[in-house]
């Protein structure tokens, strides 16, 4: 059997593939994404595909792969880059990498929230550019978590891990929204299930940790930002497309909300002349939620094992139920 690995991935994952002796594999051995034309050419006839969130696996790719393709293993928990209906129709199995990246991503979400609310990048810049003239009572003030209300959009694995980490900062109340209440998950934080509108109106911090679906696409828009408090901070570690970025820009420029911290944007990478990058009250990171050495190694190993299990027709360690 033959597989295609669409990027340079940690050695740990490649070693699992190489040592298994289940398939030969072709790899796009680069830190940059495989060009679309190469993907279409190299996937032809393959039985397995190990891909990343930056590879759009749609009907065109599936057609190019042909009927040999049994398994797609993505080195991500997000699956919004996969044409799931089309994949299901063809009986192709999908592996993904939940759980093992939850801690790293939640940690990054907290780091981003604190960096944004306490204005860390802006403050560091002032130290470098001479703006730090003396200790000033009204200078570089931000917003603290103590006694605050935190609204989590999507109380899934990462959303709960974020709430768990924020609770000891003295958060007074957690709100959450989703497609349905989750009393068991919410109990640990006494979190209240509310409509999105109420979450926007009452939260001092909004943290977006949901998956990107047709329902969540563009969910944080003008109407949502207009409901938020002028003192509130918006954080997104989910996917850029959950947010209407033009509306977010207007909310930040007009002072409708205090600040935003984004680990994900549309597009990625964000062009260096994007207006959001000119705003002091917007902190943008290059999609590094899961970027610890240990987590990325574990993701590559899990993706490799999912691929191998799929090729062998065995139970995958983490299979997406289609
Ligand atoms: P989970 O499946 O555990 O959680 C996803 C959550 O999204 C669920 O709680 C679900 O709630 C919620 N959701 C679905 N529809 C809606 C909706 N309409 N409104 C509000 N919430 C909704 O996934 P994970 O926590 O493991 O990961 C979440 C996402 O985080 C991934 O899909 C990925 O896009 C992103 N991610 C980003 C990373 C980064 O590097 N920045 C790293 C890892 C993940 P319900 O069950 O009620 O539908
Ligand atoms: C994912 O896994 O979906 C992230 O965005 C990257 O780790």
pLDDT in tens, 230-240: 999 999 999 99
Q: Which CATH architecture has domain 2-98+293-312?
A: 3-Layer(aba) Sandwich (3.40)
At residue 74, the pLDDT reads 98
102-284 is a CATH 3.20.20.70 domain: no
Centre of ligand 1 to C-alpha 123, Å, is: 32
At residue 151, the pLDDT reads 98
What phi and psi values does residue 235 have, to the nearest 5 degrees? -125, 135
Centre of ligand 2 to C-alpha 61, Å, is: 21
One fold for both 2-98+293-312 and 102-284?
yes
CA nearest ligand 2 atom 1, residue: 76
Kindly state the average pLDDT of the residues 287-302: 98
- pLDDT tens column, 93-107: 999 999 999 999 999
Q: Quick one: which atom of ligand 1 is closest to the CA of 101?
A: 43
In this prediction, residue 271 has a pLDDT band, given cuts at 50, 70 and 90, of very high
> What lines the ligand 2 site, CB under 6 Å?
53, 76-78, 101, 289-290
The token pair at 4 is 């295609």
- pLDDT tens column, 208-256: 999 999 999 999 999 999 999 999 999 999 999 999 999 999 999 999 9
* 180 tagged catalytic: no
- The rounded distance, in Å, linking the Cα atoms of 229 and 200 is 8
- pLDDT tens column, 179-216: 999 999 999 999 999 999 999 999 999 999 999 999 99
At residue 194, the pLDDT reads 98
Q: What region does 33 belong to: left with phi over 0, alpha with psi -120 to 50, or beta? A: beta
Kindly state the average pLDDT of the residues 111-130: 98
Q: Specify whether the CB–CB gap between 123 and 95 falls below 8 A.
A: no
Q: Specify whether the CB–CB gap between 160 and 184 falls below 8 A.
A: no
Which of 18, 321, 212, 209 has the alpha carbon at shortest distance from 26? 18
In this prediction, residue 52 has a pLDDT band, given cuts at 50, 70 and 90, of very high
- The rounded distance, in Å, linking the Cα atoms of 113 and 154 is 16
Going from N- to C-terminal start, the domains of the chain cover 2-98+293-312, 102-284
In order, the DSSP letters of 196-234 are: HHHHHHH-SEEEE-PPP-TTTTT-B-HHHHHHS-TT-EE
User: Which helix (DSSP H) or strand (DSSP E) does residue 292 occupy?
Assistant: none
In this prediction, residue 306 has a pLDDT band, given cuts at 50, 70 and 90, of very high
Kindly state the average pLDDT of the residues 134-143: 98
In this prediction, residue 79 has a pLDDT band, given cuts at 50, 70 and 90, of very high
> What lines the ligand 1 site, CB under 6 Å?
77-78, 98, 101-102, 105, 153-159, 177-180, 209-213, 215-216, 237-239, 263-264, 287, 289-290
Q: Quick one: which atom of ligand 2 is closest to the CA of 78?
A: 3
Which residues lie closer than 8 Å to 210 by C-beta, 6 or more apart? 153, 154, 156, 159, 178, 216, 219, 238, 242
At residue 89, the pLDDT reads 97
- pLDDT tens column, 3-20: 999 999 999 999 999 999
Q: Quick one: which atom of ligand 2 is closest to the CA of 101?
A: 7
Kindly state the average pLDDT of the residues 169-181: 97
Percent share of the chain, pLDDT over 90: 100
At residue 243, the pLDDT reads 98
Q: Helix (H, G, I), strand (E, B), or coil: what is residue 43?
A: coil
Centre of ligand 1 to C-alpha 102, Å, is: 11
DSSP alpha helix (H) spans, the chain: 11-20, 36-42, 59-65, 84-89, 102-117, 120-129, 157-166, 183-187, 196-202, 222-227, 245-253, 293-312
Mutate to test the pocket of ligand 2, among 81, 95, 101 (most ligand atoms within 8 A of CB): 101
Kindly state the average pLDDT of the residues 81-92: 98
Indicate whether this complex's ipTM tops 0.95. yes
């Amino acid at each position: 059997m033959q597989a295609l690995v669409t990027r340079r991935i940690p050695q740990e994952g490649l070693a699992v593939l190489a040592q298994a002796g289940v398939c030969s594999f072709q790899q796009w051995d680069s830190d940059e994404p495989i060009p679309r034309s190469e993907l279409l050419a190299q996937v032809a006839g393959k039985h397995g595909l190990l891909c990343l969130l930056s590879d759009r696996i749609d009907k065109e790719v599936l057609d190019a792969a042909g009927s040999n393709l049994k398994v797609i293993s993505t080195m991500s928990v997000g699956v919004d880059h996969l044409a799931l209906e089309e994949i299901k129709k063809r009986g192709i199995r999908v592996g993904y990498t939940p759980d093992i990246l939850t801690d790293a991503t939640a940690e990054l979400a907290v780091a981003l929230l604190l960096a944004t609310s306490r204005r860390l990048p802006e403050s560091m810049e002032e130290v470098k550019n001479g703006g730090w003239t003396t200790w000033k009572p009204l200078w570089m003030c931000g917003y603290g978590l103590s006694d605050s209300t935190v609204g989590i959009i999507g109380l899934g694995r990462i959303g709960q891990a974020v709430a768990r980490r924020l609770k000891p900062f003295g958060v007074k109340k957690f709100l959450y929204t989703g497609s349905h209440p989750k009393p068991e998950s919410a109990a640990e934080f006494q979190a209240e299930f509310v409509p999105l509108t109420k979450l926007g109106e009452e939260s001092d911090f909004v943290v977006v940790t949901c998956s990107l679906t047709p329902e969540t696409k563009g969910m944080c828009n003008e109407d949502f930002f207009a409901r938020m408090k002028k003192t509130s901070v918006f954080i997104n570690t989910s996917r850029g497309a959950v947010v209407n970025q033009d509306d977010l820009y207007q909310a930040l420029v007009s002072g409708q909300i205090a600040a935003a911290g984004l680990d994900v944007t549309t597009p990625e990478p964000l062009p260096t002349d994007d207006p959001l990058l000119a705003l002091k009250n917007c902190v943008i990171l290059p999609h590094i939620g899961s970027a610890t050495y240990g987590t990325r190694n574990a993701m590559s190993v899990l993706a490799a094992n999912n691929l191998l299990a799929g090729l062998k027709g065995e139970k995958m360690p983490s299979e997406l139920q289609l």
